[in-house]
Amino acid sequence: MKISVIITTYNRPDALKRVLDGLFFQSRLADEIIIADDGSENSTEAMLQPYLGHARIQIKHVWQEDMGFRAARIRNMAISESSGDYLILLDGDCIPEKHFIKDHLGLAQKGYFFQGKRVIVDKSVEKRFNHKTCNSKKTLITHAFKKEISNSHHIFRIPFFPSYTTAKLSGVRSCNMGIFREDLWAVNGFNHAFEGWGREDTELVVRLFKYGLKRKENPFLAICFHLWHQENKRNDLDKNDKILKKVLESGSFFCKSGLNELDITKTGNIQAGD
């Protein structure tokens, strides 16, 4: 099965580089990585140059103009450029543990999407935290004792621990999510009505549930390490909450404005590395 990883980023090339290094350190490499860039300045493109055209993994850089927080749209642009059977959504400040891709592949199941877990990296150690750190149990346990990471129970990988399903919306985070490509297309992807931080991932999951998918989780597999950052502005949260409420009350799983728009709108907005 072909795996595509879609990484959302905005003006944080130092963190994105560490995420990419983590993906190149995997026990099972992704087949394709697509950088979903929500309007970063040139420093991100410059950082990516050594990675673009790499022989081991095809990497593409998909960019849109900076018009504020438009994570829904840039993710859809990246999804439309992907070719994998199974897509893993990851944020550009979330470093994957070395079995991340292998675990996602093992957890992929028709009729389900997978909601992954994250360990939170504190500001005090964020700058020096990298893929080597998150694969050293001794270092991680030290950080946990010093309270320099939280959600630290996720640092233990337990391959035989059983997965479970839940219908809850709490804990939905597209910074670590796995889903079959055909299921995303069936619901028209992310909803472009969401601009500004918040709720675009929850709304997607509402529609996935309405489509008939179940949510799978496992606390000890497919873990990523979320680097500290300043909180995003939440100026549009009330508006986004109203959109979410409307979808919750609707019987439809297909959003009006999503992947269906991109055949028209993506021209001239994509920068892809060969």
| CATH number, domain containing residue 43 | 3.90.550.10
What is the domain count for the chain?
Answer: 1
Domain residues for 133? Answer: 3-265
Global pTM value = 0.93
Confidence of residue 263 (pLDDT cuts 50, 70, 90): low
Whether 235 is in a domain gets the answer yes
With a cut of 60, say whether residue 272 has pLDDT above it. no
In a domain, 204, yes or no: yes
32, part of any domain: yes
Q: How many percent of the chain have pLDDT more than 70?
A: 95
Total count of residues recorded for the chain: 274
Residue 170 CB contacts under 8 Å (≥ 6 apart), including other chains: none
Name residue, tokens 């390490």.
225
**pLDDT digit string (tens) for 92-144?**
999 999 999 999 999 999 999 999 999 999 999 999 999 999 999 999 999 99
Residue 270 within any structural domain of the chain? no
273 within a domain of the structure (yes/no): no
Whether residue 18 lies inside any domain: the answer is yes
Residue 93 lies in a domain: yes
Q: What is the mean pLDDT of the chain?
A: 92
Query: Comparing 97-101, 186-190, 269-273, which segment has the lowest mean pLDDT?
Result: 269-273
